[in-house]
Structure 1
Amino acid sequence: MNNILWRHTSTLLALTSVTLVGMMPVRAENTTNTTISSDNSDNVVQKQENSSETPGTTLTSASALLTAPTSQIERTPTATTPQTESTQVAQVVSPGRTTRSGPSYIGIGGNIGLTGNTTLSEGAFTVISKIGLTRNLSARPAAVIGDNTVFLIPLTVDFPQENLEVTQLNIAPYIGGGVAISTGRDSTVGALISGGVDVPLSPQITATGGVNVSFIDETDVGVLVGVGYNF
């Protein structure tokens, strides 16, 4: 009886030991799987956190891209409205302005005729003027008064004033051309070449001298000398 009980007891203990040994690897695998699952979960959580940060970075980059052009636009100077052609012409041509040779003026003088058959070729009283148009150009209408008055209308290029060391005076040369109109019964129009110098004497007075050559019937040449009041 006791032997039989002992045998049953030994057999039960042996079965129990085998069962326990067989269960141990399974638990180890479960533990490993649990660890791997835990690591995977951590990785997933980390990836989710990283992915949650990535949109923020993308939005920040997009915001920077959107902000950059705006700042550039703000720094871009406002385009000025181009002036019209008429406004530009009005600013360039200003009758009566000062030119490189000096201020505009009106005055009187005398003509000394050299050759020809019009009043320009005779001694005569003369009304002279200079009307500045631009910085470089001026009109110099004059009237040589006589039996058949001759009107001179040249357009001249004015040069800057230069100092003459000998006389200590400034002179401003000019040269140009235009038309000469002889009045009277034989009213005729011809070409005109004019050249000379202006000599500023004071802020109010300018002396002038020049040669006028007209081509009406013949070649007429006259030397003009005068003084003008600046305006």
Structure 2
Amino acid sequence: MNTTFFQGNFTLLTLATVTIIGNILPASAENTNSTSANTLTNQPASVNETPANAHTSASDLMIDSTQPSSIRQSEPEKVAQTFEPGRATRSGSSYIGVAGNIGLSGDTRVGESSFAVISKIGLTRNLSARPAALVGDNTVVLVPITVDFPTENLEFTQLNVAPYIGGGIAVSTGRDSTLGALISGGVDVPVTPQITATGGVNVSFIDRTDVGILLGVGYNF
């Protein structure tokens, strides 16, 4: 009797143990699968973070790489404005040459016909000195500082012209040397890499207003 009771209880205990273990194993497997899935799901997120960081680093590198470029771009601007006598300006090369002066009015060489020695000496990219000597009795020396403009193409003549305008001083030499203000303007016409033609008007204020036209040609240097 006791043996039968013990066997019956043992059988029930065995069945209960198997049932409990059977319920635990699926739950454990489900948790394991869920953890694996989460691990796989989270993996791309961590992988995606790396390109984002790399992109940011690349942007930083691009910004850093452009910094020297902007600095280098400002350097030619400074060089272009450097004071350098004899340099080319935006209107063309410096030159020295000869010209004829056609006097229009006045009592000095500016207002009388005469032979002239002319020149253009570039100072900066935009500025030139254009000293000239009108040779004859009471030679007149002109020393204008001019603003040079870029060359422009005249379609009807197929020529490039470079205007200039400025002012300075005019000195009349001789027994009674006198000095006066000067206004000068005209155009340079590049003919070849070695030759520049030029024409301009000079208005001086020595004793009275003198006006003359200079037409000449210069050798570029």
TM-score normalised by length of structure 1: 0.66
**Which residue, 68, 84, 108 being the options, matches 1:80?**
68
1:174 aligns to 2:163 (yes or no): yes
**Residues 110, 225 of structure 1: 8 Å contact kept:** yes
- Residues 5-154 of structure 1 aligned to structure 2 (within 5 Å): 12=1, 25-43=12-30, 45-46=32-33, 60=47, 63=50, 66-73=53-60, 78=65, 79-80=67-68, 82-83=71-72, 88-92=77-81, 95-98=85-88, 102-133=92-123, 138-154=128-144
The amino acid of 1:206's aligned partner reads T
The aligned residue for residue 160 of structure 1 is 152
CA distance in 1, matches of 2:103, 2:204: 12
SS in 1 for 2:107: coil
Instruction: Quote the offset at 1:129 in angstroms.
Output: 1.3
Alignment deviations for residues 21-77 of structure 1 (CA, whole Å, 9 cap, x no partner) = 666554433331121233344345546656776886676455555544445555666
Deviates more, 1:107-116 or 1:203-212: 203-212
**Residues 131, 142 of structure 2: 8 Å contact kept:** yes
Instruction: Quote the offset at 1:86 in angstroms.
Output: 7.5
Higher Cα radius of gyration = 1
Residues 104 and 220 (structure 1), Cα distance of their counterparts in 2 relative to 1, 3 Å cut = same
**Which residue, 171, 189, 192 being the options, matches 2:180?**
189
RMSD: 4.0
1:226 aligns to 2:216 (yes or no): yes
Residues 87 and 63 (structure 1), Cα distance of their counterparts in 2 relative to 1, 3 Å cut = closer
**Residues 101, 161 of structure 1: 8 Å contact kept:** no
> For structure 1, which runs of at least 5 residues remain unmatched after alignment?
1-11
TM-score normalised by length of structure 2: 0.69
Aligned pair count reads 214
Instruction: Quote the offset at 1:90 in angstroms.
Output: 2.5
- Identity among equivalent positions (%) equals 40
Instruction: Quote the offset at 1:204 in angstroms.
Output: 3.6
The aligned residue for residue 213 of structure 1 is 203
Instruction: Quote the offset at 1:221 in angstroms.
Output: 0.4
SS in 1 for 2:207: coil
